[in-house]
Amino acid sequence: MFTIEHDFDATVITLVDEADGHLQEDITVQAFEDCVVLEQLDPQTDRVQRITFSPAQLRDLAAAMNLPEGIYRLRRET
pLDDT tens-digit map of 63-74: 888 888 888 887
Which residues, including other chains, have CB under 8 Å from residue 23's CB and lie 6 or more apart? 17
Domains held by the chain: number: 1
Report DSSP letters for 49-66, one per residue.
EEEEE-HHHHHHHHHHTT
Domain presence at residue 70: no
Q: Is residue 75 part of a domain?
A: no
Whether 11 has a pLDDT exceeding 90, the answer reads: yes
- Cβ atoms of 34 and 55 within 8 Å: the answer is yes
CA angle 66, 18, 52 (to 5 degrees): 55
Residue ranges making up the domain that contains 9:
2-64
* Torsion angles phi and psi, residue 61, rounded to 5: -60, -45
Q: In this model, does residue 24 exceed pLDDT 90?
A: yes
Residue 46 lies in a domain: yes
What local confidence, expressed as pLDDT, does residue 73 receive?
Answer: 82
Q: For residue 48, what pLDDT band results from cuts at 50, 70 and 90?
A: very high
Q: Is residue 58 part of a domain?
A: yes
Query: Is 30 part of a structural domain of the chain?
Result: yes
Report yes or no on 76 lying in a domain: no
